[in-house]
Amino acid sequence: MRLFHVSEEKNIVKFEPRIPDRDDLDKSIGLVWAIDEARLPNFLTPRNCPRVAYHIGETTTESDIKKFFSSPTIFHGLIIESKWFEIMRTTTLYVYEFNIDDFSLQDNNAGYYVAKLTQIPKEKYKFNDLFMELCRRNVEIRIVDNLWSIADEVKASTLNWSLCRMAFAQQRF
């Protein structure tokens, strides 16, 4: 297993635990967040880029696979709004890899892991072409004018999904 943190910041030398914003987590314990390699594509976008990410899970039906994927060799999808295309094309991301020893699983569906101790990255990767990085990971990329209707469809499906930064999405129609 490999764990990562994705950032537009290029020189992070250590990750200090932060108090989570989420109401379902203990706000007295700081955490360092990481994402597993399988869900890394969900974060290969500019930080505030709204996106719908999804992948095939154990309970995903054949009809949902046919509906949401154009090829039987694709297992992961990412949808962004067209207004983010140029921003994504010109954004550089830095992907920091962690030793996994201090991390524990926080959310299996999302691939989130957390550590309570300061983390020093063991490696840093620079990604200049986010679309190419997604393609290298066999991710189907869709670009739409508005995310809300497709987000509703994905949420109602049997896919494993994640809606990220939707506060920055275009308004609903």
Domain spans, the chain: 3-168
Q: What is the pLDDT of the chain when averaged over all its residues?
A: 96
> Residue 54's closest CA among 149, 170, 139?
139
pTM of the model: 0.93
Question: Are the C-beta atoms of residues 49 and 168 closer than 8 Å to each other?
Answer: yes
pLDDT given for residue 25 in this prediction? 85
Question: Tens of pLDDT along 20-69?
Answer: 888 888 889 999 999 999 999 999 999 999 999 999 999 999 999 999 99
Question: Tens of pLDDT along 92-120?
Answer: 999 999 999 999 999 988 899 999 999 99
Q: How many CB atoms lie within 10 A of CB 82?
A: 11
